[in-house]
Amino acid sequence: MLTRLPLACLLALSLCTAAQAEKVTVFAAASLKTALDSIAADFEAKTGDKVVISYAGSNALAKQIIDGAPADIFLSANTQWMDEVEKAGLIAPAGRKDLLGNSLVLVASGKDAKAVTIDQNLDLVQLLNGGKLAMAMVDAVPAGQYGKAALTALGLWDDVAASVAQSENVRAALALVATGEAPYGIVYATDAASDDKVTVVGSFPDASYPKITYPAALLTNATEPADTAFYDALSAPEANALFTAQGFVPMATEQATSGASN
């Protein structure tokens, strides 16, 4: 009996701890995967709570949330789809913040591609040489929308539109380039940094596309302390460091830099 008592106590404590653990359900833009997986793993290790993340295009995720999907937190790759979720009344009071910035690049398959200057004089059709230009869906997914806006602003869209291979999200477009199915693609700079099978051959001028902003929201479905804790953790210094390492610009950093220069 005496030898069994400590084991019984340990078992009871273990069951109690497991019962207290909470699950945070996050819907996040596919381009956040590398950094967000690391942030979630750190959070789980520190808290014992579980973070379950569904990655997809922001458009698909927003529609799922509006249709009743049980998400606690939503991270979008643009403000448009977050606005739709907010219009549906699904964001908790004071539960929205602009989290990150990003930029747009042209990537090529492999490591031997030559750099190009992205401006009105770029002949993308010749560069593709009969191949496809991989992009996320240009009328729905933020990365594709930004890419189309940039090509249109530079006067390149009409010539290359027929050569575009559209994917359901930006990571799928990146995969087409990484596997060589498409020689070139337009993705976020952070996506390019996540895959060593592609090379950044050029960056799109900032003025050629709208500012890329990733908002985050705590949704009305979030009722557990762990939901709020993870939402807050997304803008903590440790998370900012992981986002920065992947090429994102944390909004707090951007605002501080802007303020210092004014």
Confidence of residue 21 (pLDDT cuts 50, 70, 90): confident
40 token code pair: 């979630």
Three-state DSSP class for residue 136:
strand
Confidence of residue 151 (pLDDT cuts 50, 70, 90): very high
pLDDT of residue 7: 53
With residues binned 3-state (H G I as helix, E B as strand, rest as coil), the percentages for the chain, rounded to 5, are 45, 25, 30
Q: What is the DSSP letter of 210?
A: P
Q: Name the CATH topology of 20-101+212-261.
A: D-Maltodextrin-Binding Protein; domain 2 (3.40.190)
- Which CATH number is 104-208 given? 3.40.190.10
Residue whose structure tokens are 């944390």: 250
d(CA 18, CA 12): 10
Kind plus residue range of the DSSP H or E element containing 14: helix 4-20
Domains 20-101+212-261 and 104-208 share a fold: yes
Digit-coded pLDDT (tens) for 220-248: 999 999 999 999 999 999 999 999 999 99
Gyration radius from the chain CA atoms: 21
Domain ranges of the chain: 20-101+212-261, 104-208
Kind plus residue range of the DSSP H or E element containing 175: helix 170-178
Digit-coded pLDDT (tens) for 33-84: 999 999 999 999 999 999 999 999 999 999 999 999 999 999 999 999 999 9
User: Whole-prediction pTM value?
Assistant: 0.79
